[in-house]
Chains A and B, each alone.
Chain A
Amino acid sequence: MLRRLLSDRMRALALAHALLASTAYAGAPDKVTNIFNPLSTPAEAAHRVALLTLAVCAVIFITVACLLIYAIVRFRRRREDDESEPSQIYGSNQIELAWTVLPILIVVVLILVTARTIADIEDYPRPTDAIKVTIVGRQWWWDIRYPDLGIVTANELHVPISESGRRQPTFLTLESADVAHSFWVPQLAGKTDLIPNRVNRMWIEPKQAGVYLGNCAEYCGTQHAKMRLRVIAHPPEEFARWVESQRRHEAEATPASAGRERFFSTSCVNCHAVQGTSAKGTFGPDLTHLMSRETLGSGAAPNNPETLRVWVRNPQAIKEGCLMPDMRLSDQDLDQIVAYLLTLK
């Protein structure tokens, strides 16, 4: 009974909140990451309880605001007033009781609904065939690892979508190598922090293919603003192809070249890894499949040969304060190293 009442209210509010949310319901991942346009199971659960809360708050607001406006208009002192004092009322226990009990009832309803939604999202059991991903937050990028698939990548999380009949949620293990960060892709789920010395978990289950945008949501130092995130959701077959391509290693694909030699003889390899070679640095993002990523510097710039060259020459020009230094490469070295990086597909 209560649940039906609540769902009726939610429908009644759909119109109001469509106005509020100010963007159309595209039903697809959008650059405008509206939390009222959820496309993943946990985000949808949060969305439902959000609508109920908005409805309750709207009713309270309208009631109290009307009472207040009524009081202001009705009891303002009139021009023809006789300067006498109004009758002095000190209070009323019945009225006090009424406006204590009524809010308590509303609070009880909210507590029950909230408790249930928290459990639905947080205590959802991990299916045995769920994709598992470990994400390590770093100043100011995301280290992404698929322990079961042997894939290491950065800043762009690839996951399969859930289709009707075959659910495929992705479970994330969240850690941090330095300070606190927070993983937030609004259309997929609420945020969960990545905290050093602590292992957090969350899950997502996108239902539409496409690119979902997000950001780090916990202030983490100089370039918190450009610690951006993207989640790329694929249909299952496409995801399988992506996994296949990511498991190929450089040594199998890239012929020897001048650029390759330059790369391995400079300090690039101290921080970056290229799987299947002697480059094993872990301080910076893994570069094995650099050119398969859409952005550079965790969303700071699009990834194409021109921006890549600017980035390698001086990352500080694109992402001021980031931990990759200006290497002061000669133009020739720069050209050769960029030429090599372009082969890492």
Chain B
Amino acid sequence: MATREFALTTGTGTLSTATLRLHDLVVTTDHKKLGLMYVGAGLVFFIVAGLLASVMRFQLVTPNNGAVSPQVFNRLFTMHGTTMVFLVGMPIIAGLMNYLVPLMIGARDMAFPRLNAFGFWMFFFGGLLLYFSYLGAPGITGAGSAPDVGWFAYSPLTARAFSRGHSTDYWILSLLLSGVGSVVSAINVIATAVSMRCRGMTMMRLPLFVWLSIVTSFMILLALASLSAAQIMLLLDRFLGARFFDTQAGGSAVLWQHFFWIFGHPEVYILIIPAFACLSEIVPVFSRKPIFGYPIMVAATVMIAFISMGVWAHHMFTVGMTSVGNTFFAASTFLVAVPTGIKIFNWLGTMYGGKLRFELPMLFCIGFLFQFLIAGLTGVMLGVAPFNWQLHDSYFVVAHFHYTLVGGFLFAIFAGIYYWYPKAVGRMLGRRLGIWHFWLFAIGFHLTFDPQHIAGMLGMPRRIYTYDAGRGWEVYNLISSVGVAAQGAGIVCFVVNLVRSYLKGEPAGEDPWDAWTLEWSTTSPPPDYNFETLPVVRSRRPLWDLKHPEDPDWRYE
């Protein structure tokens, strides 16, 4: 593919370079360009959804604030949640996997390059369609409005009777489209990792990042099927009078919840396992030791994937399941804590006895470890069904999942971006701005989400556009809103750093971190064909073997 693009570019000399570059992005099937486009589009949606959240926090800064109407507020949290999960989390992990898996296994591209491009554009236009709802939802007569049914769109609030116009249809169709993108990208990752490995790269020598990408991709295949099926059923309900979820005609509201959470809970792990994947590459390099207990890490990931398929109804402890049902799902929820704990302990084991270098990627990893530990423990609390009956759908839950997705997922993604940016761009990200980014964002994160735990325990339900004074929630909401400013400042530092380092960052060289996996053996940025000659590996750390011929890893395998 690469040669054909080259020919096209030189053949149309009359076009400006900007047009040519744009054309190149549109027609590219290169896994590296697509990977960066995924991450870039994800970051743009991240900033949009972050701004939506800022408006919500502004509305909640004081009791009975009238900054936005209830209708606008309900659209804000629906769009914020939907965007963050489907248009930020999913594309960023797809981008990282696309960029890194071929490089890490010594391949020249993904198994299906054109399918890869198709997946990206499905996601991208799906995302645009979701935001087009602000203009087009009620059709040509209305002024437009976005979906307002919450990101999990509980039935029967989504039925025709309660959701008129087309805003819910935009929600369904845009997610169906971007879901197709996620599914083909998952198929591609699995096929690539299974069939494109270079000589000597056995399954048990795969970098953990690749192993975890395979597991996540399998989970995407299983989980998204459930969501897409439910969304198609909902479309049938809304347009053809099917009655799956239409309670007014005997349908079941709880059925939607089952379908949604059979997708929704694994989805959390679909996002957090790539975060684990980043940690599993970065922590060893900056501890100067191999990952502790590689086979156990693989096994624990597979265990998490299996168990997480059987815990969905812990989102439904309050729908009136039997005591046996509640006990089963409480038990399976606790069980996930075991392999997750193993992972945290293994990262700790990797750090023990090492020589820790606190470069920017490692700083974010340490932030991740503390915050994800807390997120995991509040998760255990939520798994205790009787405790859950109090905490469910309160601000405690809001705090808990933002701890996993911001304090956990996002910190790991930042770590990954600081770690692999030099490879992708050829220049280092600036350290000073990076430190500002880390501390501003970490402080902002804790100011925003720590107090929400307490507000929830004082009875504050989520998704309310206003509240009365005197319930004891004022101070926690105030602190929470103030934290947003610090987070925003952190993100500004990050974006400035990305742009500035792209233009005039310090050149990175092939291997700035003295790392061990194959992506660091080629130039930064890598050529279209990735490797001049395909590498041959003899151990899990091929570059360690090269750098330490006197003490290579393969001697111990």
Q: A199-223 vs B: 1/0 string, CB under 8 Å? A: 0110000000000011111111111
Pick the most buried of A33, A49, A201: most chain B CB atoms within 10 A of its CB: A33
Knowing A71-B352, A86-B289 touch, does A190 contact B389 (C-beta < 8 A)?
yes
Is B250 in contact with A197, judged by CB distance below 8 angstroms? Answer: yes
- Checking B253, B344, B387 against A50 with a beta-carbon cut-off of 8 angstroms, the contacting residue is B387
Q: How far does the Cβ of A172 sit from chain B's closest Cβ, in whole Å?
A: 12
Is B318 in contact with A178, judged by CB distance below 8 angstroms? Answer: no
Complex Cα distance A67/B386, Å?
Answer: 31
A-B contact pairs, 25 of them (CB 8 A): A32-B472, A49-B386, A64-B373, A65-B370, A67-B348, A85-B355, A88-B289, A96-B293, A117-B386, A118-B330, A178-B161, A180-B157, A184-B393, A190-B318, A192-B320, A195-B247, A197-B252, A200-B320, A213-B471, A214-B459, A218-B318, A220-B157, A224-B74, A225-B465, A320-B70
Pick the most buried of A81, A200, A218: most chain B CB atoms within 10 A of its CB: A218
* CB of B187 closer than 8 Å to a CB of A: no
Knowing A33-B459, A107-B334, A180-B253 touch, does A64 contact B385 (C-beta < 8 A)?
no
Question: Contacts A189-B389, A193-B319 given; 5 further ones with Cβ under 8 A?
Answer: A64-B344, A90-B294, A91-B294, A178-B156, A224-B464
Chain B residues near A64 (CB-CB < 8 A): 344, 348, 373
Chain B residues near A49 (CB-CB < 8 A): 384, 386-387
Chain B residues near A87 (CB-CB < 8 A): 353
- Checking A89, A107, A123, A193 against B353 with a beta-carbon cut-off of 8 angstroms, the contacting residue is A89
User: Which A residues lie at the B interface, using CB under 8 A?
Assistant: 20-23, 31-36, 43, 45-46, 49-50, 53-54, 56-57, 60-61, 64-65, 67-68, 71-72, 75-77, 81, 85-92, 95-96, 99-100, 103-104, 107, 110-111, 113-115, 117-119, 121-123, 139, 174, 178-180, 182, 184, 186, 189-193, 195-198, 200-201, 213-226, 320-321
- Checking A71, A110, A182 against B380 with a beta-carbon cut-off of 8 angstroms, the contacting residue is A110
Knowing A57-B381, A61-B373, A107-B337 touch, does A31 contact B471 (C-beta < 8 A)?
yes
Q: How far does the Cβ of B314 sit from chain A's closest Cβ, in whole Å?
A: 11
Q: How far does the Cβ of A140 sit from chain B's closest Cβ, in whole Å?
A: 10
Complex Cα distance A86/B467, Å?
Answer: 56
Complex Cα distance A320/B74, Å?
Answer: 13
Chain B residues near A197 (CB-CB < 8 A): 247, 250-253
Q: B380-402: which residues lie under 8 A (CB-CB) from chain A?
A: 380-381, 383-394
Chain B residues near A139 (CB-CB < 8 A): 162
- Checking B345, B380, B390, B467 against A99 with a beta-carbon cut-off of 8 angstroms, the contacting residue is B345
Nearest chain-B residue to A122 (Cβ)?
Answer: B323
Is A68 in contact with B472, judged by CB distance below 8 angstroms? Answer: no
Q: B345-370 vs A: 1/0 string, CB under 8 Å? A: 11011011111111000000010011
Knowing A46-B389, A96-B342, A197-B250 touch, does A114 contact B384 (C-beta < 8 A)?
yes
Is A60 in contact with B387, judged by CB distance below 8 angstroms? Answer: no
Q: How far does the Cβ of B279 sit from chain A's closest Cβ, in whole Å?
A: 13
Q: B132-153 vs A: 1/0 string, CB under 8 Å? A: 0000000000000000101000
Knowing A60-B377, A193-B318 touch, does A221 contact B157 (C-beta < 8 A)?
yes
Chain A residues near B150 (CB-CB < 8 A): 219
Knowing A34-B459, A46-B390, A53-B384 touch, does A321 contact B71 (C-beta < 8 A)?
yes
Q: B458-471 vs A: 1/0 string, CB under 8 Å? A: 11011111110011
* CB of B502 closer than 8 Å to a CB of A: no
Chain A residues near B157 (CB-CB < 8 A): 179-180, 219-221
Is A123 in contact with B323, judged by CB distance below 8 angstroms? Answer: yes
Is A100 in contact with B374, judged by CB distance below 8 angstroms? Answer: no
Knowing A103-B341, A117-B386, A225-B467 touch, does A86 contact B353 (C-beta < 8 A)?
yes
Is B357 in contact with A217, judged by CB distance below 8 angstroms? Answer: no
Is B292 in contact with A90, judged by CB distance below 8 angstroms? Answer: yes
Is B74 in contact with A222, judged by CB distance below 8 angstroms? Answer: yes
Is A33 in contact with B471, judged by CB distance below 8 angstroms? Answer: yes
Is A61 in contact with B463, judged by CB distance below 8 angstroms? Answer: no
Is A91 in contact with B293, judged by CB distance below 8 angstroms? Answer: yes
Is B342 in contact with A191, judged by CB distance below 8 angstroms? Answer: no
User: Which B residues lie at the A interface, using CB under 8 A?
Assistant: 69-71, 74, 148, 150, 154, 156-157, 161-162, 247-248, 250-254, 287-290, 292-296, 318-320, 322-323, 326-327, 330-331, 334-335, 337-338, 341-342, 344-346, 348-349, 351-358, 366, 369-370, 373-374, 377-378, 380-381, 383-394, 454, 457-459, 461-467, 470-472, 548, 551, 553, 556
Is B380 in contact with A57, judged by CB distance below 8 angstroms? Answer: yes
Q: How far does the Cβ of A281 sit from chain B's closest Cβ, in whole Å?
A: 19
Q: How far does the Cβ of A64 sit from chain B's closest Cβ, in whole Å?
A: 6
Knowing A22-B454, A64-B373, A110-B334 touch, does A119 contact B323 (C-beta < 8 A)?
yes
Chain A residues near B463 (CB-CB < 8 A): 219, 224-225
Q: How far does the Cβ of B127 sit from chain A's closest Cβ, in whole Å?
A: 23
Is A81 in contact with B459, judged by CB distance below 8 angstroms? Answer: no
Chain B residues near A20 (CB-CB < 8 A): 454, 457
Is A50 in contact with B384, judged by CB distance below 8 angstroms? Answer: yes
Is B162 in contact with A221, judged by CB distance below 8 angstroms? Answer: yes
Complex Cα distance A90/B551, Å?
Answer: 14
Is A196 in contact with B320, judged by CB distance below 8 angstroms? Answer: no
Is B459 in contact with A215, judged by CB distance below 8 angstroms? Answer: yes
Q: How far does the Cβ of B118 sit from chain A's closest Cβ, in whole Å?
A: 35
Complex Cα distance A320/B381, Å?
Answer: 36
Chain A residues near B470 (CB-CB < 8 A): 31
Pick the most buried of A67, A217, A219: most chain B CB atoms within 10 A of its CB: A219
Is A32 in contact with B353, judged by CB distance below 8 angstroms? Answer: no
Is B294 in contact with A103, judged by CB distance below 8 angstroms? Answer: no
- Checking A23, A35, A43, A179 against B156 with a beta-carbon cut-off of 8 angstroms, the contacting residue is A179
Is B351 in contact with A196, judged by CB distance below 8 angstroms? Answer: no
Pick the most buried of A65, A190, A320, A321: most chain B CB atoms within 10 A of its CB: A190
Nearest chain-B residue to A87 (Cβ)?
Answer: B353
Chain B residues near A61 (CB-CB < 8 A): 373-374, 377
Complex Cα distance A104/B344, Å?
Answer: 15
- Checking B330, B374, B458 against A115 with a beta-carbon cut-off of 8 angstroms, the contacting residue is B330
Is A114 in contact with B251, judged by CB distance below 8 angstroms? Answer: no
- List the 3 shortest-distance A-B pairs measured between CB atoms, nearest first: A190-B389, A33-B459, A32-B472
Nearest chain-B residue to A64 (Cβ)?
Answer: B373
- Checking A43, A118, A217, A222 against B71 with a beta-carbon cut-off of 8 angstroms, the contacting residue is A222
Is A100 in contact with B342, judged by CB distance below 8 angstroms? Answer: yes
Complex Cα distance A83/B312, Å?
Answer: 49
Chain B residues near A72 (CB-CB < 8 A): 351, 356, 366
Nearest chain-A residue to B351 (Cβ)?
Answer: A71
Is A75 in contact with B287, judged by CB distance below 8 angstroms? Answer: yes
- Checking A46, A91, A219, A220 against B296 with a beta-carbon cut-off of 8 angstroms, the contacting residue is A91
Q: How far does the Cβ of B30 sit from chain A's closest Cβ, in whole Å?
A: 35
Chain B residues near A68 (CB-CB < 8 A): 348, 366, 369-370, 373
Chain B residues near A56 (CB-CB < 8 A): 380
Nearest chain-B residue to A220 (Cβ)?
Answer: B157
Chain A residues near B295 (CB-CB < 8 A): 91
Is A218 in contact with B154, judged by CB distance below 8 angstroms? Answer: yes
Is A50 in contact with B335, judged by CB distance below 8 angstroms? Answer: no
Chain A residues near B334 (CB-CB < 8 A): 107, 110-111
- Checking B161, B327, B366, B459 against A213 with a beta-carbon cut-off of 8 angstroms, the contacting residue is B459
Chain B residues near A107 (CB-CB < 8 A): 334-335, 337-338
Complex Cα distance A108/B419, Å?
Answer: 39
Q: How far does the Cβ of A197 sit from chain B's closest Cβ, in whole Å?
A: 5
Q: How far does the Cβ of A204 sit from chain B's closest Cβ, in whole Å?
A: 12
Chain B residues near A186 (CB-CB < 8 A): 390, 458-459
Nearest chain-B residue to A74 (Cβ)?
Answer: B352
Chain A residues near B465 (CB-CB < 8 A): 225
Is A196 in contact with B354, judged by CB distance below 8 angstroms? Answer: no
Is A217 in contact with B320, judged by CB distance below 8 angstroms? Answer: no
Complex Cα distance A271/B161, Å?
Answer: 18
Is A90 in contact with B464, judged by CB distance below 8 angstroms? Answer: no
Q: How far does the Cβ of B258 sit from chain A's closest Cβ, in whole Å?
A: 13
Is B461 in contact with A217, judged by CB distance below 8 angstroms? Answer: yes
Chain A residues near B349 (CB-CB < 8 A): 89, 91-92, 95
